[in-house]
Structure 1
Amino acid sequence: MGLGGAGKLWGGGGSSDVESGLPLYPGIDSMDNALRWGFVRKVYGIISMQLVLTTFVAAAVVASPSAQHFLLTNWGLQLGLLLLSMLGLIPLYAYRQSHPTNLVLLGCWTPLFSVTVGMACSFYPSAIVIEALLITAAVVVGLTLYTFHATRRGVDFGFMGPMLWGCLLAMIVWSVVQIFWPPGPVGRTIFSLLGALLFSAYLVFDTQLLIQRYDLDDYIWAALNIYLDVINLFLYILRILGDSQRSN
């Protein structure tokens, strides 16, 4: 996801620079650098497959009125899918380094989570969904290239971790409060903007963890975190665009 572009940004020749050992961050030796590049490519390969699978599953839900009706009129099913998606993160973390169990668990969890993404997309016109998808892609590529560039220059985003965790907890509490006291149009827009900013920052933070800090056996967990950053960013952008259209 953007690695060839990263090479061009640094003045190199894309994939040929990767193979020749372009240093990912200051002080890394050639052996670790080669292993880390292999890890990065593996993680982005997994993320790409997750995103393709999510696109197909979500598109199938959006394209089928009967599936939409079945899912949207069964609150118990919606709640069950949400809970299963959240609880599924526990075994994914526990077996994140156990091959091939980690891949099997991810292969089961991703389509399950993708159904909830499809349900969210079904509330909006196709044009809005495509617009949100394009904006998300542009933001993700831009932030990914920036993070690779900044990390290579020695910029450390580790300080963001505690602040991002605190903001995420605040957003979760705010989401629960909205169930009982629904906000107005302005409140929804502010919430969505803050959510988009939060997961944009998380994308930068998690990308640097991928580049520098994850254990080489943690490819599933690294992929899952960045995948969730991208999906959540897309959903908040979708909500912003949808609310903007309704207000016009």
Structure 2
Amino acid sequence: MSTSQKDDVEAGSDLLYPLMQESPNLRWAFIRKVYSILTLQLLATIGFAAMVANVRPVADFFGATWFGMIIYFVSIILVSTTVLCMLSVYRDKHPLNFILLGIFTLTFGFAFGVLAAFTSGRIIIETSIATTVVVVCLTVYTFWAAKRGQDFFFLVPFVLSIVVILIIFTVFQIFFPMGRMFDVLCSGLSVILFCAYIIFHTAMLIERDSYDDYIWASITLYLDVLNVFLNLLSIFGRRN
């Protein structure tokens, strides 16, 4: 099929929303850019995490000593927060925005590398497979529903309700520890929460008015995927 025929097929049959007025080619280009960046982020995270996990002295220092753990948590919070603030200012400055995005991604790659060093490889693989299936299914469903005019704003009160419930559960768990099953319940609610976030953020990606915020769009989905992975890892880890 020629390029012009392919564009005609996209323009004619792949409208993302029934009321869309513009040519869908621009929207598809934006979406492809976002998912390309997201894919590179996830691959970089996996690669850097594997490298950190295999350097045992580094993993042992940051994961098995109090001093290292303090540096670990403080540095991750400070670096990720600082980079996000800088990205909010320099999101349109090339190539600085991609450099900052790379630093942000490698920061989480380092965090996951230390985590993976103290987690069973089988559990990591199980969690990775489950996360991939969940994310792919939710993404396909969202695009399928979007083409039929589905509005996902109904998820907002649902998401807010789960956030409030999780905050209450966390407070109770701090002051009145309720055991492993309670932790699994909180992790399960968190998985549901971030699954809803993936659907909502994907729908917002499709409906987005600006084509310049691909950095923020990719970061949002990236954090949703990482949170699904972390909470599934918590469930699988406690199960074993």
Fold shared, TM-score > 0.5 on shorter chain: yes
* Count of residue pairs brought into register by the alignment: 231
For 1:55, the equivalent position in structure 2 comes to 46
Of stretches 151-160 and 126-135 in structure 1, the one that deviates more from structure 2 is 151-160
Q: CA separation in 2, counterparts of 1:176 and 1:62?
A: 32
For 1:29, the equivalent position in structure 2 comes to 21
For 1:43, the equivalent position in structure 2 comes to 34
Distance change (3 Å), C-alpha of 1:154 and 1:174: same
Give the letter aligned to residue 69 of structure 1.
D
1:72-105 superposed Cα distances (whole Å, 9 cap, x missing partner) = 1212212223322234322223333333322121
- Identical amino acids, percent of aligned pairs: 39
Q: CA separation in 1, counterparts of 2:116 and 2:170?
A: 18
Would you identify which runs of 4 or more consecutive aligned residues in structure 1 move more than 6 Å?
none
TM-score (norm 1): 0.84
Contact 1:95 1:102 in 2 (8 A): yes
| Residue from 188, 199, 223 that aligns with 1:204 | 199
1:1-248 equivalences under 5 Å are: 17-18=9-10, 22-29=14-21, 31=23, 33-72=24-63, 73=65, 74-84=68-78, 85-165=80-160, 167-168=162-163, 171=166, 174-175=169-170, 178=173, 182-213=177-208, 215-245=210-240
Contact 2:76 2:107 in 1 (8 A): no
Contact 1:128 1:241 in 2 (8 A): yes
Of stretches 107-116 and 219-228 in structure 1, the one that deviates more from structure 2 is 107-116
Q: CA separation in 1, counterparts of 2:136 and 2:227?
A: 15
Q: CA separation in 2, counterparts of 1:160 and 1:175?
A: 22
TM-score (norm 2): 0.86
Give the letter aligned to residue 137 of structure 1.
T
Q: CA separation in 2, counterparts of 1:44 and 1:82?
A: 24
Give the letter aligned to residue 186 of structure 1.
M
Superposition deviation, residue 179 in structure 1: 5.3
RMSD value, Cα: 2.4
* Greater C-alpha radius of gyration: 2
Of stretches 16-25 and 235-244 in structure 1, the one that deviates more from structure 2 is 16-25
Contact 1:21 1:34 in 2 (8 A): no
Q: CA separation in 2, counterparts of 1:155 and 1:59?
A: 39
Gaps of 5+ in 2: 1-5
Superposition deviation, residue 177 in structure 1: 6.2
SS at match of 1:88: helix
Superposition deviation, residue 29 in structure 1: 3.2
SS at match of 1:99: coil
